[in-house]
Amino acid sequence: MSKIKELFNKLIASIVQGLKFVGKKIGAVLEKLGILKFFKKLGDLLLYLPRKLTADWTCRKKQSAWGVVFTVLLIIGLVYFFIIPFFITIVYSFSRVDNLRVISSTQEHVGIVTEWIGLDNFRYILKEHSTFSTALVNSFFGTIFETLFILIFSLIIAVVLNSKFKGRAFVRAVFFMPVIFNSQAVDVAMRTGAQLVDTLEASQMSVFTMGFNMMDFLLEANLPQNVATFLGGMTSQIYDVISFSGVQILIFLAGIQSVPKHLYEAAKIEGATQYEIFWKITFPMVSPLMLTAGVYTVVDSYLRSELLTTINVFSSAGVRNLQRGLGLLTNYGIHAAMSLLFALSSIIIIALVLFGLSKLVFYYDE
């Protein structure tokens, strides 16, 4: 392993030296051509007015001004892509929205026209829509349970990966690989492959399914229907829990490695067992990171929920059925109400998770 690290460091060093050499050569050529002087004069010209205006400013005031300059693009993006659409969504959710209206007499294009209808959109999606209310409840409770499972699993795996054993780096890479494979491009490819597999297997059941069914096994063991359904759901979520725990494992692993070593040494001298060390030192010291991991898990889980698929008209209509998706997309008011309930439910889940985890948080400095 040390030889591999040494070889890798030499490779990186040679690449850096090569880039420095190329940069010096390019700089020399640009200097001979006078391009560097041109850009220097251009920079002085552009900065002439700001320097004149800020000549009598203090250093702290200049730093504050530069801070505003560097955040201008972020502020513009926040206002234009979040705040304005957010308030437009609120208006649409309480309105009937007609798109691309044209006055027949004058052929004048009016554009989007809104008509206030109060809570009719919310009544429709909660009482009349075929799947939204069910998807909302399933996604709400499913996200809470999945968050708890992922946090517990991530903490356990992080403790295991922090111990010394052969192949530890490989095992860490294995647990983080799903984070890479869950990217958008890979996700599209995997979905396409899954659809092909489903098509090929539509006419036949697997041998394992025919020979063993988890739900039937639990029911034949005289377990209640609710318990069997809960356990069956847990077993079906094992793959998702492992796949979406990579970032949380890294968060907990970084927290465990930052715990002061003298605490473990003092505990071992006092004769504490590994079980006591975990509950008295490791868990309290890592507990503040559970808030970060919890919020990340809720957001990540909710973005993969059944509710978002229901709101996404192209997912619910099917990629091939583009015409139906475009038809559903014109119902701005209904989908705006769905989006608001989606955001509100996610905020409620985050608040519940933060409230529950805050009871377990311990701060070493306090």
**Residue 260, φ and ψ in degrees, nearest 5:** -55, 130
Instruction: Give residue-wise pLDDT tens across range 10-33.
Output: 888 888 888 888 888 887 777 777
Instruction: Give residue-wise pLDDT tens across range 228-252.
Output: 666 666 666 777 777 788 888 888 9
The pLDDT assigned to 168 comes to: 73
> What is the SS3 assignment for 192-241?
HHHHHHHHHCCCCCCHHHHHCCHHHHHHHCCCCHHHHHHHHHHHHCHHHH
Give how far the C-alpha of residue 251 lies from the chain's centroid of Cα atoms, to the nearest Å. Answer: 14
d(CA 91, CA 78): 19
The pLDDT assigned to 193 comes to: 55
The pLDDT assigned to 322 comes to: 45
Instruction: Give residue-wise pLDDT tens across range 59-75.
Output: 787 788 778 888 888 99
Which two structure tokens, joined as six digits, stand for 61? 């005031």
**Residue 54, φ and ψ in degrees, nearest 5:** -105, 20
Q: Where are the beta strands (DSSP E) in the chain?
A: 95-103, 108-116
The pLDDT assigned to 96 comes to: 84
Contact 335, 311 (CB under 8 A): yes
- Domain 132-358 in this protein, CATH class: mainly alpha
Who has greater pLDDT, 202 or 2?
2
Three-class SS state of 48 = helix
The pLDDT assigned to 350 comes to: 92
d(CA 134, CA 220): 29
Q: What share of the chain in percent tops pLDDT 90?
A: 8
Who has greater pLDDT, 193 or 210?
193
Its pTM stands at 0.67
The pLDDT assigned to 100 comes to: 59
The pLDDT assigned to 270 comes to: 87
Of 91, 74, 70, residue with least CA distance to 82: 74
pLDDT surpassing 50 at residue 326: no
Contact 246, 178 (CB under 8 A): yes
- Residue spans of the domains in the chain: they are 132-358
Pick the range with the lowest mean pLDDT from 119-128, 194-203, 276-285.
194-203
d(CA 254, CA 237): 26
Q: 249-283 b/e with 16+ CB inside 10 Å = b?
A: bbbbbebbeebeeebeeebeeeebeeeeebeebbb
d(CA 245, CA 83): 32
The pLDDT assigned to 213 comes to: 60
Instruction: Give residue-wise pLDDT tens across range 75-99.
Output: 999 999 999 989 988 988 898 877 6
Rounded to an integer, the average pLDDT of 263-290 is 88
Instruction: Give residue-wise pLDDT tens across range 300-312.
Output: 888 888 888 777 7
Rounded to an integer, the average pLDDT of 283-287 is 88
Give how far the C-alpha of residue 361 lies from the chain's centroid of Cα atoms, to the nearest Å. Answer: 23
